[in-house]
Amino acid sequence: MINFLLSLQQAINRFINSILSLIKVLFLSDFSLKTTKATNSRCGILGNGPSLKVTLEQDIEFLNKLELIAVNLFSTTKEYTQLRPKNYLLLDWSFMNPDHWHGRTGLRGIVENTTWDLNLFVPTKMLKSAYFRSELAQNPHIKPIPFNYTIVSGYTKLTHWLFKKGLGMPQCQNVLVAALFYSLNMGFKEIYLFGADHSWHEMIKLDEDNNLVVSDTHFYGQKDYDIAVRETSYMSQQLFSLHKAFYGYEVLAKYARSIGVKVYNASAKSYVDVFEKVKVKDLKKKV
């Protein structure tokens, strides 16, 4: 009886989520947007986890053979101008804010350091920012390409159809999920993840005053910060955020299989377990 009631509840939730998703798509998504198509059969997505440093030190030659997608603050590193990624994706709204460190430093890095043609994938909302548009206008090499960040869920066939049309996306708690989603729709046959450590749980701790402290660690540095607002900073909330990040990969793993795309986790260290784990030294023989 309990199992029946749970199944019934899940069925009702899927139905409601499907209806809500269709409503959101109808009112929030731009039906005219088109997905940029790949020019290579293989793609590499550069996450900013600490393990990316290992890949950059040992496997630059392999990365140069892939069509690359960079994210967030990669533009502030020396490797950005060495690898010259063809694609870049931003998701965090802070890039629209000139007073925020991401907006001030990350966006300026893209504008000032890009001397080649770059596809910059951003949510439609981001291009509505006058500050963001004015920054990009300073560099003619940058081509902003909007996408619909409309979160959808519900029936698998429905969500996959919305995914393919670019009308909806899974929740992207982490920018790598968004980059993976977009790359799946670009037409790549194989996609490799690098720097997808996702080891945040190792960095969460309580100080002597019972405050949550998080070490924000990337391959380009580390910063400790307090999560000061107690009403929204309980451990349960932090762990729930991690759940949402990992669940996004589960959704995309199913989507990738449905469209026949192979996704490999080539990160030197990673807690993402839904994709086949591979080592770059073995991949060098294939490319």
Which domains are present in the chain? 2-283 (3.90.1480)
Q: In the 8-state DSSP scheme, what is residue 105?
A: I
Reported confidence tier of residue 89, pLDDT bands at 50, 70, 90: very high
The per-residue pLDDT for 230 is 42
What is the pLDDT of the chain when averaged over all its residues?
Answer: 87
User: Locate tokens 């963001």: which residue?
Assistant: 132
CA pair distance 282, 159, nearest whole angstrom: 35
pLDDT digits (tens, 9 = 90+) for 201-236: 666 776 667 776 666 655 555 454 444 444 455 677
Q: How crowded is residue 91: how many other Cβ atoms within 10 Å of its Cβ?
A: 23
Q: What number is the average pLDDT over the span 105-122?
A: 96
Share of the chain above pLDDT 90, in %: 61
Q: What number is the average pLDDT over the span 13-30?
A: 96
The per-residue pLDDT for 233 is 59
Tell me which long-range contacts 252-258 makes (C-beta under 8 A, separation of at least 24). 252/170, 252/177, 252/180, 252/181, 252/184, 254/156, 255/160, 255/163, 255/181, 255/184, 256/184, 256/191, 258/160
Q: Assess whether pLDDT exceeds 90 at residue 9.
A: no
Reported confidence tier of residue 41, pLDDT bands at 50, 70, 90: very high
**Angle, alpha carbons 93-193-121 (nearest 5°):** 35
Name the nearest CA neighbour of 283 among 51, 5, 32, 55: 55
Q: What number is the average pLDDT over the span 101-106?
A: 81
User: Locate tokens 């069925």: which residue?
Assistant: 11
Q: Assess whether pLDDT exceeds 90 at residue 237.
A: no
The per-residue pLDDT for 271 is 84
Q: In the 8-state DSSP scheme, what is residue 202?
A: G
Query: Which residues 6+ apart lie within 8 Å of 259 measured at CB?
Result: 164, 184
Q: What number is the average pLDDT over the span 128-141?
A: 95
Name the nearest CA neighbour of 122 among 152, 150, 148, 97: 148
pTM: 0.89
Q: What number is the average pLDDT over the span 237-253?
A: 83
The per-residue pLDDT for 284 is 65
Residues 106, 75 contacting (CB under 8 angstroms): yes
